Amino acid sequence: MSNAVDSGGNEQGEKPQSAPGQSERGQNATARSVRLAPSLICADWTRAGAVEEELAQAGCEWLHFDAMDGHFVPNLTMGPMFLRALRPHSRLHFDAHLMLSNAGDYITEFLEAGADSISVHVEGNPHLHRLVARIKEGGAKAGVALNPGTPPAALDTILPDLDTVLVMSVNPGFAGQKFLPSALEKIAHFARERQTRGLDFLIEVDGGVSPETAQAVVEAGADVLVCGSSIFRPDCSLQNSVQALHAVIDQALGVSDG
């Protein structure tokens, strides 16, 4: 794993001091930036350190951690110990997505493990304001995720309190699913709400994001693209996979190489 020092003098292993997710890519052409958040559920966990370094060198600024409990979703994946193991060796933004029936019981553990942002689901969490407040009090950015079948109006009252809205563009639980086009209107809805209400939350999209779907997702208003199987491909290096997605993002934003 890399111990490089960034331009601000921070040794890798320290948390970033700039605003989470702020990107310099394309800022000369547009005030808007879009980040990639590779989902480590698709990575080779035996090479986690090397994967983190390769993704950082490829220009990724976020890492996405999918925590699944086998109850809220039909899969069982990583917990806070995985974040804790990587945290001392990375200055990337750690983004935790809690797909847990009892997410509130684990917020403190993910905070202590080093998560920079934590998203919980609107489904199954009746006390969202309480969970969001706990995440923020712990020093992380707070997000709320919603499944494809949940209408965007479910977040109307809590939007002003959020740092991130996570739009699921597949039914959560497994990687490699096909992108659901209905997510595009949901993304556009939150982009309109953000503008008309003067809010500043990020719109994150998770599920089926690939070079074939990323342009429409960005044009609809997304700021953070969670990518799993489209980055971790057996036939392509991480550098090339990330580069292909960045090219599509730049095209959607109207960014030229010059």
The torsion angles phi and psi of 54, rounded to 5 degrees, stand at -65, -40
Query: Taking the mean position of all CA atoms in its chain, how far away is CA 145?
Result: 11
Assess contact for 169 and 176: CB atoms under 8 A. Answer: no
238-253 vs 48-57: helix crossing angle, rounded to 10:
40
pLDDT, tens digit, 9 for 90 and up, residues 165-174: 999 999 876 6
Q: Where are the domains of the chain?
A: 35-253
- Across the range 243-257, mean pLDDT stands at 89
Whole-model pTM: value is 0.86
Band (pLDDT 50/70/90 cuts) for residue 10 is very low
Identify which of 34-43, 131-140, 173-182 has the greatest average pLDDT: 131-140
In the block, tokens 């923020």 appear at 136
Q: Which CATH superfamily includes the segment(s) 35-253?
A: Aldolase class I (3.20.20.70)
Q: Strands of 62-68's sheet, edge to edge?
A: 35-38, 224-227, 202-206, 164-168, 141-146, 117-121, 93-99, 62-68
**8-12, 74-78, 85-89 — most confident range:** 85-89
Confidence (pLDDT) at 106: 95
- Residue that has been written with the tokens 């920079």 in this structure: 116
* Positions marked catalytic: 66, 206
Phi-psi region of 99 (alpha: psi -120 to 50; beta: other; left: phi over 0): beta
pLDDT in tens, 197-244: 999 999 999 989 999 999 999 999 999 999 988 999 888 899 999 999
Return the pLDDT at 22.
39
Give the residue-averaged pLDDT of 29-35: 73
